Structure 1
Amino acid sequence: MQFNRKDKDDKFLLNLYKRLLYPRMVEEKMLKLLRQGRIGKWFSGIGQEAIAVGSTLAMQSDEYILPMHRNLGVFTSRDISLKKLMAQWQGKATGFTKGRDRSFHFGTQDYKIIGMISHLGPQMALADGIALADVLANKQKATLVYTGEGATSEGDFHEAVNVAAVWNLPVIFIIENNGYGLSTPKSEQFRCKHLVDKAIGYGIEGVQIDGNNILEVYDTINQLASEIRKDPRPVLVECLTFRMRGHEEASGTKYVPQELFDEWEKKDPLSNYESYLITQGILTSDSIIDIKIQIKKAIELEVEEAFEEPEPKVDSIIEESDMYFPFVQKVIEPASSSTEKRYLDAITDGLDLAMQKYPNLVLMGQDIADYGGAFKITDGFTAKYGKGRVRNTPICESAIVGAGLGLSINGFKAIVEMQFADFVTVGFNQIVNNLAKTHYRWGEKADVVVRMPTGAGTAAGPFHSQSNEAWFTKTPGLKIVYPAFPEDAKGLLLAAIEDPNPVLYFEHKYLYRSLSSPVPDGYFTTEIGKAVKLTDGKQFTIITYGLGVHWALDYLKNNPEFDATLIDLRTLQPWDKETVLAAVKLTGKVIILHEDTLTNGFGAEISAWIGEHCFLHLDAPVMRCASLDTAIPMNKALEDNFLAKARLAETIEKLLKF
C-alpha cells in the first residue's frame, strides 16, 4: 500500500492515526462484550474503517453525512462520545433514540449525521433533499452519503443518483464495496466489472479508490467536496475494501473463502498506516503502546458508565405523543368575503398562498413545472416562483418523497405531488418507514405534505382510480386529510402545510372540475382532526368523507322523508371521535359510507370503535356501505356497480328495518 502525505504535517498524520485506531479498539471491545453476553448484537466494520474516518474528516463539520451501520468511524470522527453511542446501542434512555431503535439507526442535528433505516437505500434520497436545500439557500456545502455494493441493486440507489445527476446536486455517493451483501458475493449481485462504471449511465463523474488507504480516501473526498461546493454536481466514489467479520457477528464468515481473508489481511488499513508512520518517524513502538493504553482506558471508562445509564421509562402516553412533532394548530379564521371556486382552483389558491407565506416551501412532482401538472393545478407557478421551488421530477416517487424529508431535515418545507394516488406504492417505504417514524425514532420533524389525487368516477381503471387511504391510516406518525368541498380543500391544505408533521392530503379527482362553491378569500386554515356535521337529524347517522359526502347529500336531497345526521370526517388521522359519539347517541343507528373497498377499509376502524365505545347507544348493528372487494374496472357500467353509491339505498333500507 502506497501512502502519499503530500503537504500534511506530522501532527495531522498522527491525529489521523488516532482517529483510525479509536473505532478499531472500540470494535474490539464490542466483540469481547458480545462474547461475554453483555451486548446482544454488533455489525462490525473492522477492515474498512479508513473509509468512514477519512471521508468524515474531509468534510466540513456542519456538512451532513448519511452513514450505514458499519460506519462507526463517522460518529467517532465527529466526536460523539462513546458513552452516548453505547447508551444508544444498549437501548438506554440517554441514547439518541431513547431505546426505540438500535445500532446506528438514528440522526442527530447536533453532529449533522442522519442515520439509515434497515432498508439500506432510502437514505440516499434524503441526501438529495439535504443538498437541494443547500443549493436553494445558496450555501456552498457538500453532502456525503454511504451505501454498500449490495444496495446498488436497489431502485433507491438508481433513483437517488439519477435525481442528483439531473438536478446537479452536490452529493458524494460513496459505495463501500466490501465484496459481500450478507453472504451473497458480488458476482451474484451485479455483472459490471466495477461499480464505479455505473456513473457513466448517469452522466456523472465516477472515481474508484483504495478504501483501505486512509490518505487516499481523505485526499479524494477532500478534493471532490471542495470542487462541488463551488460547482454543484454529484460524484460516485467506489471504495474497494473488505469486511473482515460477518454481516453481523451471529452470521459468521464460513461462506467466505480463507484466501480472501489472507489477501485482505495484508491490506488492513490500520496496520499499513501504522507501519507507514513508523517509517516516517512519527510513531514508535513505545508511542503506539502509550496511545493504545490511553484509548483503552477511556473506552473502558465510558463503556462501564454507559451500562449504568437509566433504562427508558415505560409510559404509553409519552410513547404515543412522541409519534408526532409537538405542534398545536392555531386555526386562522376565514375572511367574510368569498369567491366561487372549483375544487381544483381552491387547491391552486391554497398552494399559491402557501408559496407566498413560506419562502422555504418547495413543490416537487412529475410535470408540475411549465406543464402545470397533470390536472393543471400548478399552472403558472414556475413563472411566479421559479423552477428552483417548483420542480419537475424524474419518474421516481421513492426518491422524491425521500428528498422531501431531506429538505425538511435541512430547514425547508416540501410538498410532493403524486400524479395519481395509485402511484404512491413506489414511494410507500419512504412514507411509512421514513416520514412516519422519523420523529418517534430521533425527534426530528418530517415537514412534508404528499398530495394524493385519488378516487374513481372517471372510468380510469384499476391503476388510476383507487381509494388507498386505508393503506396509511393504520400507520402511526402520519396525518391524513380528505376534503370534500372547495373551502375545506383550501383550508385543510394550508393547515397541512403549516403542520411540521407528515400529512397525506387526499384530493378527489372527480371533484376537481365538477364541484364549485364559495371559498373564503385570503389565507385561512381548517382544523385538522375536526369533523363537520352537514345535516342534523334523529333517524340515523351517515358517517363519510370525500366523494361519499356528495353521494349522501344527493340521496338525502332525493329522499326528504328521511331525517338523518350527516357527518363529513374531513380528517382520517386523527379522526373526530367526539362528533361521532354525539351523533351515535342522538340517532342510535349508523351507516359508514366510503368509496374504498369494504374489507379493511377505514370504515372498519370506525365501526369497531363505535362497537367498543358506543354499544349501549346503538339500536341496530353498525352498517358499512363500501365498494366491492375487487379491483376497480374501467367500463363505466362496471365502475358504477363497483362503487359504494350503488348500494347506499339498500343499506339505508336495511338499517331502518331494525
Structure 2
Amino acid sequence: MYFNRRDLSDEQLIEFYKSILLPRLVEEKMLVLLRQGKISKWFSGIGQEAIAVGATLAMHDDEWIMPLHRNLGVFTTRRMPLRKLFLQWQGNKEGYSKGRERSFHFGSRENHICGMISHLGPQLAIADGVSLAYNLKNEKKASLAFTGEGGTSEGDFHEALNVASVWNLPVIFLIENNGYGLSTPVKEQFRCEQLALRAKGYGMEGVTIDGNNLLEVYDTIKGVREYCIREQKPYLIECMTFRMRGHEEASGTKYIPQHLFEEWAAKDPVKKFEEYLILEEVLTYSYVESIRREMKLMIDAEWQVAADAPMKLPVLEEELDDVFAPVPAMPFEESGSAANEVKSKRFIDAVTEGLRQSMEKHDNLVLMGQDIAEYGGAFKITEGFVERFGRERVRNTPLCESAIIGSALGLSLEGFKSMVEMQFADFVSVGFNQIVNNLAKIHYRWGQNADVVIRMPTGAGVGAGPFHSQSNEAWFVHTPGLKVVYPSTPADAKGLLIAAINDPNPVIYFEHKALYRSISGPVPDEYYEVPIGKARWASQGRDISIITYGAGVYWAEEYAASDPAVSYDILDLRTLLPLDYDAIRESVTRTGKVLVLHEDTLTGGIAGEISAWISEHCFELLDAPVIRCASLDTPVPFNLELEKQFLAKSRMAESLKKLLSY
C-alpha cells in the first residue's frame, strides 16, 4: 500500500492516526460489551475505517454528511463526545435520540450529521437538497452522502444522482464497496466492472480508489470537494474495501470465503497506516503504545460515565409532544373575518393565491414539481410563478418523486421551506418511503424538523381512471409525524395552505381536482391562516350529523337542501390529522345520529377510525349505530357511469334514510 503524504506535516499525520485509531478501539470495546450483554446490537466497520475518517477529515465541519451503519469514524472525527455516543448505543434517554433510535440511525444538527434510515437509499437525495440550499445561499460548500455497493441497486441511487447532475449540485456520492450486501456478493448485485463507471451515464465524473488507504481517501475527497464547489457538479467515488465482521454481529460471516479475510487482513487500514508512520519515523513503537494506552483509558472512562448514568423512565407526554416540532405562534385569522376586501374566487385561484402570497412572505420557500415552471403545472396553479420568482425557487423536476421529496428534507436541514407538487396524488406512491419513514419520523428520532408541504391533487368525478382519481389520504393519516389537511372551500384552501407552509412539520395537503374550477366562494385578499386541526361547520342541525370532508361536503349540502324536513348537522373536518375530536363530540351530542361520509374506499378509510372513536368515547350520546358511507372497494373506474356507481355519493341517500329510520 503506497501512502503519499503530500504537504501534510508530522503533526497532521499523527492526528490522522489518532482519528483512524479511535473508532477501531471504540469498536473493539463495543464488541466486548456486546458479548457481555451490555449493548444489544452492533454494526461493525472494522476494516473500513479509512473511508469514514478520511472523508470526514476532507470535508469542512459545517458541511453535512449523510453516513450509514458502518461509519463510526464520521461521528468520532466530528468530535462527538464518546460518553454521549455510549449512552446512545445503550438506548439511554440522554443519548442523541432520547432512546428512540439504535446504533447509527441518529443525527446531530450541531455536528452536521444526518441520521440514516434502514432503507439506505433515501440518504442520497437529502444530500441533493442540502447542496441545493448551499447554492441558493451562495455558500461555497459541498455535501457528502455514503452508500454501500448494495445500495446502488436501489432506485433512490439513480434518482439522487440524476437530480444532482441535472441541477448541477455540489454533491459527493461515496460508495463503500465491501463486496457484500449483508450476504449477497457483488456478482449478484450488478454486472458493471466497477460502480464508478456508472458516473458517466449521469453526466458526472467518477473514480475508484483504495478505500483502505487513509491518505488516498482524504486526498481524493479533498480534491473532489474543491472540484464540486468550483465546477458546481456532483462526483461519484467508489472506495474498494472489505468488512472484517458480519453485516451485524448476529449474522456471522460463514458465507464469506476464508481466504478473503486473510487477503484483506494484510490490508488493514489502521495497521498499514501505523506501519507507514513508523517507517517514516513520524511515530515510534513506544509512542504508538502510549497513544493506544491513553486512548483505551479514555474510552474506558467515557464508558464508565455512560454505564453509571441512570436509565430514566419514559414520560408519556414527552413522547407524544416530540412527534411534531413546535409551531411558531401566529395569530390565527379565520377566513372571512377580516375587515379588508373579500372577493369571490374559484378554488384553484385560492390555492394559487395562497402559494403566491407565501412565496412573497418567505424568501426561503422553494417550489418543486414536474412541469411547474414555465408550463405552470398540470393544473396551471403555478402559471406565471417562474417569471415572478425565478427558476431557482420555482423548479421543474425530473420524474423522480422519491429524490425530490428527499431533496425537500435536505433543504429543511439548511433552514429552507419547500413545497413539492405531485401532478396527481396517485403518483405519491413512488415517493412513499421518503414521506412515511423519513419526513414523518425525523423530529421524533433526533429533533430535526422537516419543513415540507406536499400538494396532492386528488379525487374522482372527472373520468380520469384508476391512476389519476384515487383518494389515498388514509395512507398518511395512519403515520405519526405527518399533518394531513383537506380543504373543501376556496377560503380554507388558501388559509390552510398558508398555515401548512408556516408549519415546520411535514404537511400533506390534499386538493380535490373536481373542485378546482367548479367551486367558488368568498376569499379575503389578505394573507391569513386557517388553523390546522380545527373543523368547520358547513351547517348546524339537530337530527343527523354528517361528518365529512372534501367533495363530501358538497354532496352533503346538496342532499340536505333537497330534504328540508330533516335538520342536518354537517361537519367539514378540514384536517384529517390531527382530527378535531372536540368538534366531532359536539356534533354527536347535538344529534345522536352520525353518518361518516368520504370519497375514499370503505375498508381502512378514515371513517372507520372516526366511527371507532365515537363508539368508544361517545357511546352514551348515540341514538343509532354510526354508519359509514364510502366508495366501493374497487379501483376507480374510467367510464363515467361506472365512476358514479363507484362513488360514495351514489349510496348516500340510502345510508341517510337507514340512519333516520333507526
* Structure 2 length-normalised TM: 0.98
Whole-Å Cα distance in 1 between the matches of residues 147 and 37 of structure 2?
30
Matched, 1:479 2:480: no
Deviations 1:37-89 (A, max 9, x none): 22211100000100000110001111111101100000000001111111111
Match of 1:447 in 2: 451
Deviations 1:20-51 (A, max 9, x none): 11111111111111122222111000001000
Match of 1:631 in 2: 635
Q: CA deviation at 1:330?
A: 3.0
Match of 1:370 in 2: 374
Matched, 1:544 2:548: yes
Match of 1:330 in 2: 331
Deviations 1:487-520 (A, max 9, x none): 1000000000000011000000001111111211
Matches within 5 A, 1:210-289: 210-289=210-289
Match of 2:306 in 1: 306
Specify which of 588, 593, 605 is matched with residue 589 of structure 1: 593
CA contact (8 A) 1:436 1:477 kept: yes
Whole-Å Cα distance in 2 between the matches of residues 474 and 153 of structure 1?
29
Match of 1:606 in 2: 610
Q: CA deviation at 1:329?
A: 5.1
SS in 2 for 1:113: coil
Q: CA deviation at 1:93?
A: 1.2
Structure 1 pair 528–540 and aligned structure 2 pair: CA distance change class (3 A): same
Specify which of 445, 465, 470 is matched with residue 466 of structure 1: 470
Match of 2:114 in 1: 114
Instruction: Decide which moves more: 62-71 or 221-230.
Output: 221-230
SS in 1 for 2:427: helix
SS in 1 for 2:366: strand
Match of 1:187 in 2: 187
Matched, 1:508 2:509: no
Whole-Å Cα distance in 2 between the matches of residues 329 and 597 of structure 1?
36
Whole-Å Cα distance in 1 between the matches of residues 308 and 190 of structure 2?
46
Match of 1:27 in 2: 27
Whole-Å Cα distance in 1 between the matches of residues 82 and 129 of structure 2?
30
Deviations 1:560-619 (A, max 9, x none): 222111110100111111111111111110100000011110011110010011111110
Match of 1:95 in 2: 95
The letter for the 2-side match of 1:114 is C
CA contact (8 A) 1:329 1:527 kept: no
The letter for the 2-side match of 1:368 is I
Whole-Å Cα distance in 2 between the matches of residues 312 and 506 of structure 1?
41
SS in 1 for 2:287: helix
Instruction: Decide which moves more: 553-562 or 501-510.
Output: 553-562
The letter for the 2-side match of 1:565 is D
Q: CA deviation at 1:303?
A: 0.9
Whole-Å Cα distance in 2 between the matches of residues 220 and 29 of structure 1?
31
Match of 1:405 in 2: 409
Match of 1:358 in 2: 362
The letter for the 1-side match of 2:4 is N
CA contact (8 A) 1:98 1:312 kept: no
CA contact (8 A) 1:538 1:587 kept: yes
Whole-Å Cα distance in 1 between the matches of residues 526 and 354 of structure 2?
9
Matched, 1:153 2:126: no
Q: CA deviation at 1:227?
A: 2.2
Whole-Å Cα distance in 2 between the matches of residues 116 and 312 of structure 1?
25
The letter for the 2-side match of 1:147 is T
CA contact (8 A) 1:592 1:623 kept: yes
Structure 1 pair 329–614 and aligned structure 2 pair: CA distance change class (3 A): farther
Q: CA deviation at 1:428?
A: 0.6
Matched, 1:519 2:523: yes
The letter for the 1-side match of 2:35 is R
SS in 1 for 2:239: strand
The letter for the 2-side match of 1:418 is M
Match of 1:140 in 2: 140
Deviations 1:275-318 (A, max 9, x none): 11111101111111111000000010001111122324312211
CA contact (8 A) 1:99 1:312 kept: no
Whole-Å Cα distance in 2 between the matches of residues 613 and 31 of structure 1?
50
Deviations 1:462-509 (A, max 9, x none): 110000000010111110100001110000000000000110000000
Q: Unaligned 5+ residue runs, structure 1? A: none
Q: How many residues align?
A: 658
Whole-Å Cα distance in 2 between the matches of residues 199 and 231 of structure 1?
16
The letter for the 1-side match of 2:443 is H
Whole-Å Cα distance in 2 between the matches of residues 602 and 312 of structure 1?
36
Q: Unaligned 5+ residue runs, structure 2? A: none
Q: CA deviation at 1:231?
A: 2.4
Q: CA deviation at 1:187?
A: 0.5
Q: CA deviation at 1:154?
A: 0.3
Whole-Å Cα distance in 1 between the matches of residues 430 and 307 of structure 2?
42
Whole-Å Cα distance in 1 between the matches of residues 286 and 11 of structure 2?
17
Matched, 1:555 2:556: no
Deviations 1:382-405 (A, max 9, x none): 000111000000111111111111
Match of 1:6 in 2: 6
CA contact (8 A) 1:101 1:441 kept: yes
Specify which of 383, 394, 400 is matched with residue 379 of structure 1: 383
Deviations 1:312-368 (A, max 9, x none): 431221111110001255313553311221111100000000000000000000000
Whole-Å Cα distance in 2 between the matches of residues 561 and 197 of structure 1?
74
CA contact (8 A) 2:38 2:90 kept: no
Match of 1:167 in 2: 167
Whole-Å Cα distance in 2 between the matches of residues 232 and 108 of structure 1?
26
Match of 1:389 in 2: 393
CA contact (8 A) 1:65 1:112 kept: yes
Deviations 1:136-179 (A, max 9, x none): 01111010110000000001111111100100111000000000
Instruction: Decide which moves more: 297-306 or 326-335.
Output: 326-335
Match of 1:533 in 2: 537
SS in 1 for 2:407: helix
CA contact (8 A) 1:143 1:172 kept: yes
Q: CA deviation at 1:230?
A: 2.6
The letter for the 1-side match of 2:333 is I
* Structure 1 length-normalised TM: 0.99
% identical equivalent positions: 62
Matches within 5 A, 1:424-439: 424-439=428-443
Whole-Å Cα distance in 1 between the matches of residues 199 and 263 of structure 2?
28
The letter for the 1-side match of 2:415 is G
Whole-Å Cα distance in 1 between the matches of residues 50 and 641 of structure 2?
65
Match of 2:651 in 1: 647
